[in-house]
């Protein structure tokens, strides 16, 4: 289709946003809009400027004969801080306290807009780590895993507590739950990870880290590499953690009856690097 | 921020795409860009034209003093057909056949790009049905539910097989699995659905429909209304279904050893209405 600049800008913005972390060649855009590459380059400069001014992402131009452009989602430090602060406030309501030191987060994890932002924060940290796949354990980590994966443009694999007929053959491991010290098992379909994949592990909540440790074992079992670990909420109480290096968006402190839930920003900004 | 038209077009496109099915007032845009409402209206006309030409959605203008604009995602019939045809082809590989008449779909359900399209197809059908919440049953329906919900701009609630400490108090029902005739249970956190909500039920796979029927009971238990039911794949073999009206994207026929998996487009186009 032949389009004027204004029409091209709208369509290219949409296209790039729907294909994050993907190289689009200038030739592809040039043919799509029946426009000279020089015009396309000017369009991209305008989009780049807007994205960077808004702090929603970068456009990286790849040089060479096969030159192209890649939309890299990221978030600005200030926006990340303000999002985490308001998320922390939402979670600090006393009514959210449940037995066993857990927090009721189901409503927040059910909000696609919040989930998308959480995914964007996680993806912003790991975007340059050549992640091949995002892994999580059923159930609550799943939406977070998809939100991060869609920004990173990689697939999701889901570990489950027991093997299902719909998964085909599976690989199973046993692990010790860090908090309850019980032996549990975790399975992953044999077809789901190829050898050598670089894996980002994501989960909603981490106490001692037994489940995460289990996932790391499973990753190793498939001869893959755990490149990063990101959790939405870690608890501050349990120590020591079974996992050394992990990113947490929020940290839940020691709970006292009758006071607000003590939530603070986790170690996120130790990993975050402003672009 | 003061922006030229080109910069406004990029930013408005991004903003609208990130806020589907949400009214944005012209005043909001006008203040955001320090531009006259007449200029904003012209920008919106350009975006509308591009979205409609590409078949990615509509911009609906709401008149009146508080006038605004709403981005309504939809898909064109031709694009929906071509997506479902290629998805069907992917699923028809013999290697996907599992015991019990199930299909291995884990890899496809792990692809965020495919999941997003599935969500867009479902949302396109129910966008005018005033859905308040999308409901699914753990585990495989979850990504589809989020993909549809994010386009509809509503939350997701997830029914589980057993109650978890992290969910607070729950409502539980028993239901008879349509295929295995076993009694199973299904729980939903008490806080997750408010009375009178209009619910869209979504799942990945439907054989006889027992699980869907269970979810409908749960919806009724919360004094809510099931407005629609959408599944990715239904099986053609089992009859009759326990559920009367449902939308299916794909239909799995009778499987014969040594032949390709018989997959066809489901009843989707009985529900789909070209905008």
Give the pLDDT mean for A254-266: 85
pLDDT confidence of residue A259: 78
- Of all residues in chain B, the one with the smallest CA distance to A6 is B6
Residue B259 has φ and ψ, to the nearest 5°, of -115, 165
Asked if residues B159 and B224 have their Cβ atoms less than 8 Å apart, the reply is: no
Radius of gyration of chain B (CA): 21
- Answer yes or no: is pLDDT of A239 > 70: no
Say yes or no for a CB contact (<8 Å) between A98 and B166.
Answer: yes
Count Cβ atoms within 10 A of the Cβ of residue A39 and give its class: 0-12 exposed, 13-18 middle, 19 or more buried: middle
d(CA B153, CA B158): 16
Q: Is the pLDDT of residue B138 over 90?
A: yes
- Please report residues of B whose CB lies closer than 8 A to that of A108: none
Higher per-residue pLDDT: B3 or A123: A123
Q: Work out the angle at residue B59's Cα, subtended by the Cα atoms of residues A121 and A39, and round it to the nearest 5 degrees.
A: 70
Put simply, whether B5 touches A (Cβ < 8 Å) is yes
B189 to chain A: which residues are within 8 Å by CB? 104, 106
Closest alpha carbon within chain B to A19: B113
Q: Which domains does chain A have, with CATH numbers?
A: 5-73 (1.10.10.10), 77-271 (3.40.50.2020)
Give me the pLDDT at residue B33, please.
Answer: 94
Q: Which residues, other chains included, contact A142 with Cβ-Cβ below 8 Å and sequence gap of 6+?
A: A136, A156, A158, B139, B142, B143
* Alpha-carbon gap, residue A264 to A107, rounded angstroms: 19
B240: preceding bond cis by omega (within 30 degrees): yes
Paired tokens of B252: 């799995």
Strands B198-206 vs B225-235: parallel, antiparallel or unpaired = parallel
Testing the interface with A: which of B168, B169, B177 to mutate, by most A Cβ within 10 A? B168
Confidence of residue B239 (pLDDT cuts 50, 70, 90): low
Which residues in chain A have their CB less than 8 angstroms from residue B100's CB?
165
| DSSP letters spanning A182-212 | -EEEEEEEGGG--TT-EEEEEEEEESSSHHH
B167 vs A contacts (CB less than 8 Å): 104, 106
Q: What is the pLDDT averaged over residues A59-70?
A: 85
Mean pLDDT (chain B, rounded): 92
User: How close does chain A come to B210, measured CA to CA in Å?
Assistant: 17
Nearest alpha-carbon partner for A254 in A270, A239, A232:
A239
Mean pLDDT of B57-78: 89
- Determine phi and psi for A80, rounding to 5 degrees: -65, -45
Which of B4, B50, B150 to probe by mutation at the A interface, max A CB count within 10 Å?
A: B50
Classify the complex by whether its ipTM is higher than 0.85, answering yes or no: yes
Tell me whether B142 touches chain A (CB under 8 Å): yes
Contact A143 B140 (CB under 8 A): no
Q: Please state, in angstroms and rounded to a whole number, the distance separating the CA atoms of residues A1 and A115.
A: 35
Distances (CA, A) of B167 to A179, A217, B148: 18, 28, 23
Q: Which two tokens mark A94? A: 């006393």
Of A18, A110, A27, A127, which Cα lies nearest the Cα of A72?
A: A127
Confidence label for A177 from pLDDT (cuts 50, 70 and 90): confident
Contact B234, B246 (CB under 8 A): yes
Closest residue in A to B11 (Cα) is: A50
Nearest to B201 by CA among B266, B136, B141: B136
Enumerate the residues of chain A whose CB falls inside 8 A of the CB of residue B156.
110, 112, 143
Looking at the complex, does the CB of residue B143 fall below 8 Å from at least one CB of chain A? yes
**pLDDT at A254 (0 to 100):** 82
Q: Mean pLDDT, to the nearest integer, of A125-136? A: 97
Residue B238, pLDDT score: 59
pLDDT at A116 over 90: yes
Q: Which residue is closest to A117 within chain B, CA to CA? A: B18
What's the rounded Cα separation, in Å, for the pair A245 and A229? 7
Residue A98 has pLDDT above 90, yes or no: no
The predicted-structure confidence for B204-230, as pLDDT tens digits, reads as follows 999 999 999 999 999 999 999 999 999
Per-residue pLDDT for B171 more than 90? Answer: yes
Identify the pLDDT of residue B167: 83
Residue of A166, A186, A261 for testing the chain B interface, max B β-carbons within 10 Å: A166
Q: A14-46 pLDDT, tens per residue?
A: 999 999 999 999 999 999 999 999 999 999 999
Backbone dihedral angles phi then psi of residue B19, each to the nearest 5 degrees: -130, 65
Between A167 and B73, where is the model more confident? B73
Q: What pLDDT shows up at residue A238?
A: 59
Tokens of B44: 């919106």
Q: How confident is the model at residue B240 (pLDDT cuts 50, 70, 90)?
A: confident
Q: Which of B204, B166, B168, B160 is nearest to B185 (CA)?
A: B160
The nearest CA of chain A is from the CA of B49 a distance in Å of 8
| Sequence-ordered strand ranges (E) for chain A | 23-25, 57-62, 68-73, 97-98, 102-103, 133-137, 156-159, 170-176, 183-189, 198-206, 225-235, 247-252, 263-265
Per-residue pLDDT band at B186 (split at 50, 70, 90): very high
- Is residue B155's pLDDT more than 80? yes
Cis amide bond preceding A123, omega within 30: no
Identify all chain B residues contacting A261, using CB atoms and an 8 Å cutoff. none
- Asked if residue B166 has pLDDT above 70, the reply is yes
Q: How confident is the model at residue B275 (pLDDT cuts 50, 70, 90)?
A: confident
**A112 neighbourhood in chain B, CB within 8 Å:** 146, 149-150, 153-156
């Amino acid at each position: 289709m032949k389009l004027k600049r204004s029409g091209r800008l709208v369509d290219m913005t949409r296209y790039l946003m729907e294909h994050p972390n993907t190289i689009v060649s200038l030739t592809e855009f040039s043919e799509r809009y029946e426009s000279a590459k020089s015009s396309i380059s000017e369009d991209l400069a305008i989009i780049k400027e807007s994205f960077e001014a808004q702090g929603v992402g970068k456009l990286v131009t790849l040089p060479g004969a096969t030159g192209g452009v890649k939309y890299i989602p990221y978030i600005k430090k200030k926006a990340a801080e303000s999002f985490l602060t308001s998320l922390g406030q939402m979670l600090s309501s006393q009514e959210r306290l449940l037995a066993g030191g857990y927090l009721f987060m189901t409503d927040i994890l059910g909000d696609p807009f919040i989930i998308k932002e959480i995914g964007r924060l996680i993806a912003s940290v790991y975007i340059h780590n050549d992640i091949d796949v995002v892994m999580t354990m059923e159930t609550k980590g799943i939406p977070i895993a998809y939100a991060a994966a869609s920004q990173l443009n990689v697939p999701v694999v889901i570990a489950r507590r027991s093997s299902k007929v719909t998964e085909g053959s599976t690989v199973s491991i046993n692990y010790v739950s860090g908090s309850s010290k019980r032996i549990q098992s975790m399975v992953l379909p044999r077809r789901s990870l190829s050898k050598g994949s670089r894996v980002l592990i994501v989960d909603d909540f981490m106490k001692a880290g037994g489940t995460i440790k289990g996932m790391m074992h499973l990753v190793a079992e498939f001869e893959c590499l755990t490149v990063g670990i990101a959790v939405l909420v870690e608890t501050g109480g349990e120590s020591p953690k079974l996992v050394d290096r992990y990113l947490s968006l929020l940290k839940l402190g020691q709970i006292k009856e009758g006071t607000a839930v003590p939530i603070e920003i986790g170690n996120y900004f130790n990993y975050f690097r402003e672009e």
